[in-house]
Structure 1
Amino acid sequence: MTTIAFIGLGIMGSPMAQHLARAGHDVVGFDATPEKAKPLIDAGGRAADSGPDAVRGAEVVALMLPDSPDVTDVLTGEDGVLAHAAPGTLVIDFSTIRPDVAAGLAAEAAAAGLRMIDAPVSGGQAGAENAALSIMVGGVDADVAAARPLLEVVGKTVVHVGPSGAGQTVKAANQLIVAGNIALLSEALVFLEAHGADLPAAVEVLGGGLAGSAVLNQKASKILGDDFAPGFRIDLHHKDMGIVTSAAREAGVATPVGSLVAQLVAATRAAGDGGLDHSALYRTIARLSGRGSDTQTHGRP
């Protein structure tokens, strides 16, 4: 049994913390919204009143937070992890943040006597709930090896992709691919509907060919059902596309399609859909063809 402080009990962090608790670990959770700790308590975990309270006595500190500033503050702030964790504590950052920030924070953690790996995840809410996440890990070999038994509790695919920050670089690439796939799926559905195709039948046959993808399998039904309840919010994908475009510019890499998709995601957010699932990118695509509205996204009478 490992004592784990888990900071950030949102859509992703909550089920991940629950899996760790059910696996027999002593999980102490903290979230800025205290009531979010209830599912963890029901799963056998405990709730802390503050970040420092969660961290004291923990062998591992896991983070699942929205953005680079949040992770930086939780780690390096006056009441942060680096100030309160015991020497040798292993920090696992499941958040999706900038690669350069991840590498810098790992260096700060090492200077404070802690070990840190970046372990962003892919798979969305369903993947977190089913312990089927894909986890791309950056860090020192020994630290990744120490974390692997815990990573394998919450993830189905766990791959060490390089040094600190590498996990975040691979996650940025993942988000680029996912957003591009959602955009093209949306265009295809608008195109098919404009020609009077049977959309469920079309999705079925497309899924059986080269056009098939995890995005088509998971998102087409949500779009066709006008179900945009968040599994992964547009707001967060907008942040991630900012990471992609910024990191690409720093590396001198051209991402023409990615830059266009980033603008489409930004437009979706600007239209007030930031709190919806990233499949709501369809709503922007439909509007561009004059087929969308706030109440009906498929242009049906």
Structure 2
Amino acid sequence: MAESKDTTGKAGHWLADRLIRGAIWVMLRLPFDARRALAAFLMTRIVAPLGGWRRRIRENLALVRPDLPEAEVRRMELAVPRSIGRTLAELYSGPDFVARVAREPLQGAGVPALEEAHRTGRPVLLVTGHLGNYDAIRGALIARGYPVGGLYRPMDNPFFNIHYVAAISRIGTPLFPRGRKGLADMLRFLRGGGMVGVVLDQSMGDGALLSFFGQPALTALSPAEMALRYDALILPTYGIRRPDGGFDLRVEAPIPHSTPEAMTQALNDSLEAQVRAHMDQWLWTHRRWKMENKTW
């Protein structure tokens, strides 16, 4: 029975990947902006309804933003998948995407500290969330000659994961998969004065229960712990999409070193402020407030 279930799951992953590859092949035949528009349309009109995304968006908004008018909730049901589609197209558009973000200026109070760390070879953790395009800062800094690696979580679908990793590698390397070997390679890179991009807003079963939008959210303390252990600068960073198709590349002031919990809560607060300012660019489709049987 287990073997049959595994076989069925593998076949399902293979079929889903074939469909995704076909859509990506068509998408990449188009100019950059047209490809983003097509991906946005497919996500909004096909993937979101089939994947139950609209229900998940409604549930998350009801939990943390029950004050939103119904008309705004309905708008978000369409706007969030549209943003996800654009992000996917950008991640698969390596050179075109990097060319777009490379010409954007770095903004924010943390830019001088980032430049100084680059000059002196101090390790840096660039912490972001699934807002706008989370790889925009990485691509922009690599284009400027900064040594930036990325920590990523391998996809559940192994067939999709192969070409996904290949795609984000075209934005820049090195990349480090979550896991023992990936972590060891990442720490070696960081200790050598590298910069590592980390996405923080995923529910981590072994994380600390901290606040995000006033609700308990399991959050990894590891970026703050690494910053303390290796005297690394820790910076909240964001690639916010503009209506004109460009990006605002924001580097906020460094998080002061204190305790891992206090530092990570500051990162959560920074991300929350940005999400509140750009509600339709965050990944409201994922289970950020999953509790894993823990109590607040």
Q: Please indicate the TM-score interval, normalised by the length of the shorter structure.
A: 0.3 to 0.5
Q: TM-score, normalised by structure 2?
A: 0.34
Query: Which structure ranks higher in relative contact order (CA pairs < 8 Å, sequence separation ≥ 6)?
Result: 2
Q: TM-score, normalised by structure 1?
A: 0.34
